[in-house]
Amino acid sequence: MIRSLNAGVSGIHQFQGRLDVIGNNIANSNTTGFKAGRADFGDAFSQSLNSSGGQVGSGVATTSIRNLFNQGSVSQTAKNTDLAIKGEGYFMVKDPVTGELFATRAGNFEKDKDGYLVVGNRYRLQGYSDGGLNTVGDLRIDATGAPAEAAADARQEWFNITSEGLIEVGLSDSTKFTRGQVLLQSFRDPQALLKEGNNLYSGISAAGPLGDPEAPTMAAPGSAGLGSLESGALEASNVDLTNEFANLITTQRAFQASARIITTSDEILQEVVNLKR
């Protein structure tokens, strides 16, 4: 009877964890670039009753909580600092204060007062930061690197980001040039990435990035198995609300059933106690 109590308690604990995952998925159903989670269960240790091999399990355990990295739908925004990845890959952004790198699928970038492309009002988008596409660093949109034929007083008037990530800048004297290029990263084991909030992932080295894990490299969109970029668009959350509500109902029923196991076991134990009276 104690085994049934343990099984019921384990069920309550684990189904509560699954409810937490489902609740977080539903809460982030409109979060840009959010990737849904899934709780996977496995049976707990089984106790052998006799030498003939009879076993009774002791309940359930959560084996993993996995992130589902399938593509979210892409919606048009007509804002040229918004970027969506169509296919594999992650944007890499850097904290300018600590120098720490993070991966993200959220492409809702803004141009800050200094011209840097940032997300979360702080983290700077990474790529080739020069027109020669030689130096990796913070991406900035301005007139730096303008061609020799441009007027000395020419100023930046417009910019565009191509599907290959090239940043094209137009000047007031009608000249244009390549200012830099957005680069992407991919991972051999994305499940090793750790959610840090603000749609950011850490654990870059553990996830197996392109190149040396201790000095990861990035690649241009459309190369090395990476997807292409779409400017003026955003990738939506990949949460399927229909599926989440179905999981919510089945998890609720399983939680209630586990609670019922505890109640029934307690009632039977009470009957056993009463036999001595």
Structure tokens at 238: 């990949």
Q: 222 and 86: one domain?
A: yes
Q: 87 and 174: one domain?
A: yes
Q: 191 and 257: one domain?
A: no
Q: 37 and 107: one domain?
A: no
pLDDT digits (tens, 9 = 90+) for 64-111: 999 999 999 999 999 999 999 999 999 999 999 999 999 999 999 999
Which residue range forms the structural domain that includes residue 255? Answer: 2-70+239-274
Q: 216 and 248: one domain?
A: no
Residue 256's pLDDT is what? 95
Which amino acid is it at 148?
Answer: A
Q: 63 and 82: one domain?
A: no
Mean pLDDT for the chain? 92
Q: 115 and 190: one domain?
A: yes
Is pLDDT at 5 greater than 90 in this prediction?
Answer: no
CA nearest neighbour of 102 among 84, 125, 86: 125
Q: 247 and 227: one domain?
A: no
- Look at the chain and report how many structural domains it folds into: 2
- Residue found under tokens 């009632």: 267
Q: 115 and 166: one domain?
A: yes
Q: 63 and 96: one domain?
A: no
- As a whole-number percent, the residues of the chain with pLDDT over 70 amount to 95
Q: 108 and 191: one domain?
A: yes
pLDDT digits (tens, 9 = 90+) for 164-220: 999 999 999 999 999 999 999 999 999 999 999 999 999 999 999 987 766 778 999
Q: Helices 241-274 & 2-27, crossing angle to 10 degrees? A: 160
Is pLDDT at 52 greater than 70 in this prediction?
Answer: no
In the 3-class helix/strand/coil scheme, how is the chain assigned residue by residue? CHHHHHHHHHHHHHHHHHHHHHHHHHHCCCCCCCCCEEEEEEECCEEECCCCCCEEECCEEEEEEEECCCCCCEEECCCCCEEEEECCCEEEEECCCCCCEEEECCCECEECCCCEEEECCCEEEEEECCCCCCCEEECECCCCCCCCCCCCCCCEEEEEECCCCEEEEEECCCCEEEEEEECEECECCHHHCEEEECCEEECCCCCCECEECCEECCECCCCCCCCEEEECEEECCCCCHHHHHHHHHHHHHHHHHHHHHHHHHHHHHHHHHHCCC
Q: 169 and 116: one domain?
A: yes
Q: How confident is the model at residue 55 (pLDDT cuts 50, 70, 90)?
A: confident
pTM of the model: 0.87
